[in-house]
Amino acid sequence: MTSDSISTYGGDLAAAVDPDGDETSRGRPAQRGTVDTVENAIAHPDVAQPWRELGLKEDEYHRVREILGRRPTSCELAMYSVMWSEHCSYKSSKVHLRQFGEQTTPQMGQRLLVGIGENAGVVDVGDGWAVTFKIESHNHPSYVEPYQGAATGVGGIVRDIMAMGARPIAVMDSLRFGALDHPDTRRVLPGVVAGIGGYGNCLGLPNIGGEVVFDPCYQGNPLVNALCVGKLRHDDIQRANASGEGNLVVMFGARTGGDGIGGASILASESFAEGGVAKRPSVQVGDPFQEKVLIECCLELFAARVLVGLQDFGAAGLSCALSELASNGDGGMLAHLDRVPLRDPSLRPEEILMSESQERMMAVVRPDDLATFLTVTTKWDVEATVVGEVTGTGRLVVLWHGETVVDVPPRTVAHEGPVYQRPFARPHGQDAIRSELPDRLARPVTGDELRATLVALAGSANLCSRAWITDQYDRYVQGNTALAQPDDAGVVRIDEKTGLGVALATDCNGRYCLLDPYVGAQLALAEAYRNVATVGATPLAVTDCLNFGSPEDPGVMWQFERAVSGLAEGCRALGIPVTGGNVSFYNQTGSVAIHPTPVVGVLGLLDDVTRRTPSGWREAGLALLLLGVTREELGGSEWAWVTHRHLGGRPPAVDLAAEQRLAAGLGEAARVGLLAAAHDLSEGGLAQTLVEGCLRYGMGASVDLRPLCARDGVSPFVALFAESTARVIVAVRPADEARVTDLFAAHGTVAVRLGTTGGAALEVAGEFSVPLPELQAVLAAPLPAAFGG
Amino acid sequence: MRIGIVTFPGSLDDADAARAVRLAGGEAVPLWHGDESLHGVDAVVLPGGFSYGDYLRCGAIARFSPVMREVIRLAGPPEQATPGLPVLGICNGFQVLCESHLLPGALIRNDHRSFVCRDQRLRIDSVRTAWTRAYAAGEEIVVPLKNGEGGYVADTATLDRLEGSGRVVARYLEVNPNGSYRDIAGICNASGTVVGLMPHPEHAAEPLFGPDRDGRGGFDGTDGLRFFTSVLQGVLAA
């Protein structure tokens, strides 16, 4: 569909329902009188409707007719089509996502104040405090219009957090791009980064971390997943429901314009055909200043206790806000569409219902509280308009200049959309990839060869410094950031009096997931869990953003089913619940899908954030200990990819019990102040962890791999580059070494002494030495070289 | 002892500035952009952020707010020798001070065109201001810097006059992060009461929540706190 047909479909709809169907009404700004009312729909039942163009399947359209007992009006068709899109209805994923709830035991749910299904989950963190967090995708818009796509991705997730009654306190983002040296990456990445920064910096939310991964599989389908975390008191939790007959429905924030119309159903639900960039006008445009004011305004509204219900405007705009509020409530709702404040007065009612204009919220307010409500919005110069009221009819009725254009049971729009049991099957190529073992690849042996490999990896696209990107984000604002990238997890303080705070990390290795989506999803979970534990936090809860190809491809659906099962069962094994998340399908171009990329975010708790453990050592003379066991695990590794462009075999084994033991030890050691530094081992193995630990504060290290190689029966090459899981390196004062070793032994985690910190080089005894300035230069170079500056 | 912190719509670092004032031992008094009065505060901080969205030009709309009319009146003309109300404008606050003509020159988009957030080394070049008297002349400090439009520019005569009269308060060391002329990070008015500073001392006021990438050991990231203790000392002395 071209931009033209999107921008004029309102006219087409009007023409389509014009009983005379004459040419003169087509393409002209439709008059008030040509609107398709319920009365008109009954009187003219056989008018052809553009359901297919709006993304509905034939049986879905017939189901709408069945629900209503007549054909839908054009406004109703707009609502159903956008709310029944994959993006809004989760129709292909629902049957699998149930596992997250089913795998949550009562024990795991103890800290959950709000679970899956609301705008975001809410977790009890003690002292009357709660935290809400969620990650969401804005992939397709970010490819079409990188700056605005990414900016509004941040804006959307921040409003989800606000809608729970929380003050947003930090953001993170998990990004995937095509090859670093591809020309289109140079178009997409700088725009995405500027958009995240331009919006997030303006909101006053510290950006505390995330990930950036380059892989050719994301060339035409970059992933922009934005995470936001907010804090609130237990009794501040807001719900998105419209209850209490006679209560008022108030829209506040920005005016409604023509941006993002059809974005939800068309942009987010169909893979790009050739020439897809012509969809540009459908991407929403953000105004972060408006959102910042909206945040402060909402916080004052919470404090004034004038909200019965609150809902943000996300995908599907007013269609979603009205139907979800009404559906979650106990009655019905009547809304006057002509009262919605417009930026563009020529908008048709169908367009008003579908507009994805940003920075809007909807509240349900008791009539007695309206004056107080308006005092707050006036203080912040936020426009607020009563557009409707809660009724006892059980119906969602929408009027346009007094004529009924929508009259539907709201649940059928918001919650009872189609559910598909899509066929899934293990892809034919899966066995071939799995049998492509990395064993046959040439390996470095001599000290010089190992050194060259370490340097090559450190300067590779996925392991080099992210500073070019993260230096464009404000990590300091609010003054509560205790750790940010490049540490293992971001840490922010919640309570200044006690130091209570949270740690957050997101992870996913798409290559592992391609080799084995079940194990790959668990590896993503394990790494995010380990990252949070490495800074000294106790992991509490999970959010996920499941990025996959087309659900209509049984192979992709198999990947999805395996990944969800792996993640749900992994969460159960670790005892931490999934509290919410997002699914993004159709990340594919033609028949080629991205690697399955289930990004996992883990939230952890610290009683006192000043006890957090940084990822690098700053003093000389500390003992470096490696915790955990190293095995010859090179399938899907950074080494295989960077030096051989090889992707095959098995990903590293997952051992969630070992991760739990390791995390328990790390938490205990941090609480008693035994750890000067801790850094987890992941992509690039021990070599990369040592490089990063040295460069964090510019303090070198001398290590001897021989005790490790002897104990685990591995070569120096495997010791340096294998990506075995459940491993962390810690730096401790020499006097504490025995105590730390005993502490971890008591938790069932083995430790081996690697060496000591100090000097201006990374030295591996008997193998090689690399001066830190050389490493620094190698790490720093790639991104500025690719993107300028 | 009572330091007013102005909140404009779009101010972001107002809570941080208030925290820094408290950590320095002062009382932070919130001021709203619509306030006609400063409620008797002894000094004012204009915090960082994007006042009124920074639409038109950074600080250009904030300059016309009711609260700024009063700040401008009490601060006095920039070349006046008698000290007026002490005012510290940080980042967006610096931009507001220039737009208000309480300080000369202007702040323009960074020369590299991108927003930059980094731990910035500075040299305190003037300790004869209300906000820097607790530092040693020539002292080097590290505080966070974060801006998109932080390039300080002025005509040559103005720059020469500022330098000649000791009104360059702080200069960037090692890296000029935004293309500021003569590496200028902060300047003051003739009496040293009104200071504009692009980097953020309020983000380096509490141990473990400030910059930590110094790499020289024993560094707790609180180099910025003395901007706030300076003004409190002055207020007490007065």
The two structure tokens encoding residue A357 = 């204009």
Q: What number is the average pLDDT over the span A731-752? A: 98
Among A201, A293, A482, the residue with its CB nearest the CB of B209 is A482
B30-42 pLDDT, tens per residue? Answer: 999 999 999 999 9
Task: Say yes or no for a CB contact (<8 Å) between B13 and A477.
Answer: yes
Host H or E run for residue B15: helix B14-23
Q: What number is the average pLDDT over the span A9-20? A: 34
Q: Which residue has the higher pLDDT, A602 or A17?
A: A602
Residue A332 φ then ψ, to 5°? -130, -170
What is the Rg, in whole angstroms, of the alpha carbon atoms belonging to chain A? 27
Residue with tokens 């004529």: A403
Taking CB atoms and an 8 Å cutoff, what residues of chain A touch B209? 479-482, 493
Among A468, A476, A492, most B C-beta atoms within 10 A, so best to mutate, is A476
Question: Quick check: A1 pLDDT over 80?
Answer: no
Question: Quick check: A4 pLDDT over 90?
Answer: no
Considering only alpha carbons, which residue of chain A is nearest residue B114? A472
Residue A523 φ then ψ, to 5°? -65, -40
Q: Which of A270, A567, A550, A552 is nearest to A421 (CA)?
A: A552
A157-200 pLDDT, tens per residue? Answer: 999 999 999 999 999 999 999 999 999 999 999 999 999 999 99
Q: CA of B16 to nearest chain A CA: how many angstroms apart?
A: 6
d(CA A656, CA A431): 25
Q: Are strands B106-108 and B151-153 parallel, antiparallel or unpaired?
A: antiparallel
Q: What is the pLDDT of residue A9?
A: 29
Task: Say yes or no for a CB contact (<8 Å) between B52 and A289.
Answer: yes
Q: What is the pLDDT of residue A560?
A: 98
Decide if B103 contacts B187 (C-beta within 8 A).
yes
Q: What number is the average pLDDT over the span A277-286? A: 58
Q: CA of A478 to nearest chain B CA: how many angstroms apart?
A: 6
Surface of A (618-637) touching B: CB under 8 A: 618-619
Host H or E run for residue A580: strand A578-584
Decide if A460 contacts A721 (C-beta within 8 A).
no
* For helices A554-574 and A94-102, angle between their N-to-C axes, nearest 10 degrees: 10
Surface of B (50-89) touching A: CB under 8 A: 50, 52-55
d(CA A695, CA A760): 10
A288-304 pLDDT, tens per residue? Answer: 999 999 999 999 999 99
Among A197, A289, A609, the residue with its CB nearest the CB of B50 is A289
Task: Say yes or no for a CB contact (<8 Å) between A474 and B146.
Answer: yes
Question: Quick check: A269 pLDDT over 50?
Answer: no
Q: What is the pLDDT of residue A20?
A: 38
d(CA B137, CA B149): 28
Question: Quick check: A272 pLDDT over 60?
Answer: no
Residue A624's pLDDT band, with cuts at 50, 70 and 90, is very high
Residue A637's pLDDT band, with cuts at 50, 70 and 90, is very high
Host H or E run for residue A232: strand A223-233
Task: Say yes or no for a CB contact (<8 Å) between B203 and A479.
Answer: yes
Residue A20 φ then ψ, to 5°? -85, -25
Q: What number is the average pLDDT over the span A438-456? A: 97
Taking CB atoms and an 8 Å cutoff, what residues of chain A touch B213? 697
Question: Quick check: A430 pLDDT over 90?
Answer: yes
Q: What is the pLDDT of residue A635?
A: 97
Chain B interface includes A252 (CB < 8 A)? no
Q: What is the pLDDT of residue A264?
A: 38
- Segment of A320-329, A340-349, B82-91 carrying the highest mean pLDDT: B82-91
DSSP one-letter code for A266: I
Q: What is the pLDDT of residue B235?
A: 64
ipTM above 0.90, yes or no: yes
Torsion (CA) A278, A281, A284, A287 in degrees, nearest 10? 120
Residues of chain B with pLDDT under 70: 213-219, 235-238
Decide if B44 contacts B71 (C-beta within 8 A).
yes
CB pairs under 8 A between A and B: 91
Q: Is B117 helix (H, G, I), strand (E, B) or coil?
A: strand
Q: What is the pLDDT of residue A53?
A: 84
Q: What is the pLDDT of residue B213?
A: 54
Q: What number is the average pLDDT over the span A105-109? A: 92
Among A198, A289, A480, the residue with its CB nearest the CB of B10 is A289
DSSP one-letter code for B49: B
Residue with tokens 């930026």: A343
Residue with tokens 């080099």: A464
Question: Quick check: A203 pLDDT over 50?
Answer: yes
Q: What percent of chain A has pLDDT over 70?
A: 93
* Range with the poorest average pLDDT among A16-25, A447-456, A529-538: A16-25
B76-92 pLDDT, tens per residue? Answer: 999 999 999 999 999 99
* For helices A517-534 and A656-671, angle between their N-to-C axes, nearest 10 degrees: 10
Please spell the DSSP secondary structure of A735-774, one letter per residue. GGHHHHHHHHHHTT--EEEEEEE-SSEEEETTTEEEEHHH
The whole-chain average pLDDT of chain A stands at 91
Taking CB atoms and an 8 Å cutoff, what residues of chain B touch A610? 207-208
Taking CB atoms and an 8 Å cutoff, what residues of chain B touch A699? 215
Chain B interface includes A477 (CB < 8 A)? yes
d(CA A59, CA A292): 43
Among A204, A481, A493, the residue with its CB nearest the CB of B12 is A204
Q: Which residues contact B139 (CB under 8 A, 6 or more apart)?
A: B123, B124
